[in-house]
Chain A
Amino acid sequence: MLTSGIILLAGSLLSPNPGLIFWTAITFVIVLLILKKIAWGPILTALEEREKGIQSSIDRAHKAKDESEAILRKNKELLAKADAESDRIIREGKDFAEKLRADISQKAQAEAQKMITSAKEEIEQEKRRALDVLRNEVADLAVRGAEKIIRTTLDADIQKRIVDSMIKDISTNRN
């Protein structure tokens, strides 16, 4: 261990070596130039492109999100408007239907009333007419009955006698 310390201090570790410096410089510069051409160029451009691509993707995604949010908002507004519209239409329809129903029922009632009254009148008329007819019929029947009664009670011999007596009367009276 002592020796290593002596060697270190003697400077073999720190001794300059121009040959090695020369080769290091040459090697490093050549490697730098070649790598710059074959590796760093493509890699760095690819990285930058990807970075830009990612950035633009993010931007696009944000834009798309904003747009979709705007569309959503618009849709919601439209939906709300449509809802209100449909509500209004339904309400109007209901009102109209209500009115219509009231009108119709009123009209129907009036109609019915009218029909009832006219029916009553007709019934009355019919009744009257029926009574007239009945009365005529009854009179006819009575006349026919009477006729039948009369015809049955009317005997030709009796009648001849009656007529003969009458003629006799008349002749006696003239005489």
Chain B
Amino acid sequence: MKRVNVIQPKALLKVIAIFLPLLFNVNGLASAASGQSSDVPKNSAAVVAGAAVSAPAAESAHGAEASEGEEKAGDVIMHHILDNNVFAFEPFGSVNLPKIVIGGFDISITKHVVMLWLVSALLLIVFSVVGGKYKNMTARNAPKGLANAMEALVEFIRLDVAKSNIGHGYEKHLPYLLTVFFFILFCNLLGLIPYGATATGNVNVTLTLSIFTFFVTQIAAFKAHGVKGYLQHLTAGTHWSLWIIMVPIEIIGQFTKPFALTIRLFANMTAGHIIILSLIFISFILKSYIVAAAVSVPFAIFIDLLELFVAFLQAFVFTMLSALFIGLATAHEGHEKPAAGVAHH
């Protein structure tokens, strides 16, 4: 107990000694910082001078932000969140990604495509290692290390997501659900590391993923009920006089489900990043170290940790809802009513 009492004031004094000059010289340092950050635009300005395309324009906006403040902060944030053709490593320069146009379609490799590929590469590496371990494993050995960590997630998806929502015949959909879960999870997590971009924060990516869920759901429904059963499903088992209302509602319902998936994932991932960036930009806009130390950094750290949780949560929610929709589509009439009740919540 005595030692703690001695050390604590000392440590506190040290911290104050470090921060005091900063706090007193707020303005001087702030201007120095703006001078530092204006180094970056100098570099990029040289690039911009030659190219003068839309993407580097955003770069110059980043540089101008220090002097112009509020108006441009929004641009920088959007630049970080939106997709573009430049993979920027801020103080070290940037990589221009190739632009590919085939048959009138622009299929350029953008920042988010690169992230998707990074995620895919990571997934393939991790799961080739894990899968290799399982190939050499008998029922008597226990997994350890990475295999054990992944098994916990796989087992969770298998039992708590797939089996409990789809029920009979859930094994068929497991590869899709597992892939979608880990794909989204890795996308979300890679978006949290510096220089990363959140591919799942792009509506096109989430739309594609939910279209897959849509197709999987529809095919599962057709397989489970046949064409006649599928059409009967659209009437929701009501009297024929209500069909004129029910059928359009059910058809719209088929599309709202993937739409909700799209928006939910995209909005969650985007919102988190906007909040973090906004918190950090508060200190730049107010040009104050006190705000940076007291507000921006702690809150940004807090939101970042929250994002870490959200990364898992949203991957789980997407998978969970996919499984739920598949379960709803394949459910037989006996299960229809309680399952429908869940869907409305």
Query: What residues of chain A have their CB less than 8 Å away from a CB belonging to chain B?
Result: 1-7, 12-14, 16-25, 27-28, 30-32, 34-36, 38-47, 49-50, 52-53
Instruction: Out of B78, B117, B124, B134, name the residue touching A34 (CB < 8 Å).
Output: B124
Q: Is B135 an interface residue (CB 8 A)?
A: yes
Tell me the complex Cα distance, A5–B174, Å. Answer: 40
The reply to whether A16 and B139 contact each other, CB–CB distance below 8 Å, is no
The reply to whether A20 and B77 contact each other, CB–CB distance below 8 Å, is no
List, in ascending order, chain A residues with CB within 8 A of B109's CB.
23
> Could you list some 21 contacts between A and B, CB below 8 A?
A3-B74, A7-B75, A12-B78, A12-B82, A13-B203, A19-B107, A20-B113, A20-B202, A24-B113, A24-B199, A24-B208, A28-B208, A31-B123, A35-B123, A36-B175, A41-B131, A42-B132, A44-B154, A46-B134, A52-B139, A53-B139
Q: Is B112 an interface residue (CB 8 A)?
A: yes
The reply to whether A23 and B158 contact each other, CB–CB distance below 8 Å, is no
The reply to whether A14 and B74 contact each other, CB–CB distance below 8 Å, is no
In whole Å, how far is A49's beta carbon from the nearest beta carbon of chain B?
A: 5
Instruction: Out of B140, B179, B205, name the residue touching A24 (CB < 8 Å).
Output: B205
The reply to whether B208 and A42 contact each other, CB–CB distance below 8 Å, is no
Q: A4-B74, A13-B203, A17-B204 are in contact. Are A39 and B130 (CB under 8 A)?
A: yes
Tell me the complex Cα distance, A38–B270, Å. Answer: 32
In whole Å, how far is A52's beta carbon from the nearest beta carbon of chain B?
A: 7
Q: Which of A20, A22, A50 has its CB near the most chain B CB atoms (within 10 A)?
A: A20
List, in ascending order, chain A residues with CB within 8 A of B131's CB.
38-43
In whole Å, how far is B184's beta carbon from the nearest beta carbon of chain A?
A: 10
A-B complex: 4 closest residue pairs judged by Cβ atoms: A4-B74, A39-B127, A3-B74, A53-B139
The reply to whether B127 and A2 contact each other, CB–CB distance below 8 Å, is no
Give the residue name and chain of the A residue nearest to B129 (CB). A39
In whole Å, how far is B50's beta carbon from the nearest beta carbon of chain A?
A: 25
The reply to whether B174 and A40 contact each other, CB–CB distance below 8 Å, is yes
Against A, the Cβ 8 Å flags (1 = close, 0 = not) of B81-116 are 111000000000000000010000111111011001
List, in ascending order, chain A residues with CB within 8 A of B70's CB.
1-2
The reply to whether A22 and B134 contact each other, CB–CB distance below 8 Å, is no
The reply to whether A7 and B123 contact each other, CB–CB distance below 8 Å, is no
Q: Is B212 an interface residue (CB 8 A)?
A: yes
Q: Is B155 an interface residue (CB 8 A)?
A: yes
List, in ascending order, chain A residues with CB within 8 A of B34's CB.
none
Tell me the complex Cα distance, A166–B175, Å. Answer: 174
Instruction: Out of B75, B110, B124, B179, name the residue touching A28 (CB < 8 Å).
Output: B179
Give the residue name and chain of the B residue nearest to A5 (CB). B74
Q: Is B274 an interface residue (CB 8 A)?
A: yes
List, in ascending order, chain A residues with CB within 8 A of B130's CB.
39, 43
The reply to whether A44 and B107 contact each other, CB–CB distance below 8 Å, is no
The reply to whether A21 and B207 contact each other, CB–CB distance below 8 Å, is yes
The reply to whether B209 and A24 contact each other, CB–CB distance below 8 Å, is yes
List, in ascending order, chain A residues with CB within 8 A of B178's CB.
35, 40
Q: A13-B270, A19-B106, A20-B205 are in contact. Are A32 and B175 (CB under 8 A)?
A: yes
Q: Is B183 an interface residue (CB 8 A)?
A: yes
List, in ascending order, chain B residues with CB within 8 A of A19's CB.
100, 105-108, 110, 113
Tell me the complex Cα distance, A34–B274, Å. Answer: 34
The reply to whether A46 and B81 contact each other, CB–CB distance below 8 Å, is no
The reply to whether B135 and A42 contact each other, CB–CB distance below 8 Å, is yes
Instruction: Out of A7, A28, A39, A44, name the residue touching B212 (CB < 8 Å).
Output: A28
The reply to whether A47 and B82 contact each other, CB–CB distance below 8 Å, is no
Q: Is B160 an interface residue (CB 8 A)?
A: no
Tell me the complex Cα distance, A31–B209, Å. Answer: 13
Tell me the complex Cα distance, A36–B211, Å. Answer: 19
Q: Is B171 an interface residue (CB 8 A)?
A: yes
Instruction: Out of A4, A7, A13, A35, name the residue touching B175 (CB < 8 Å).
Output: A35
The reply to whether B120 and A44 contact each other, CB–CB distance below 8 Å, is no
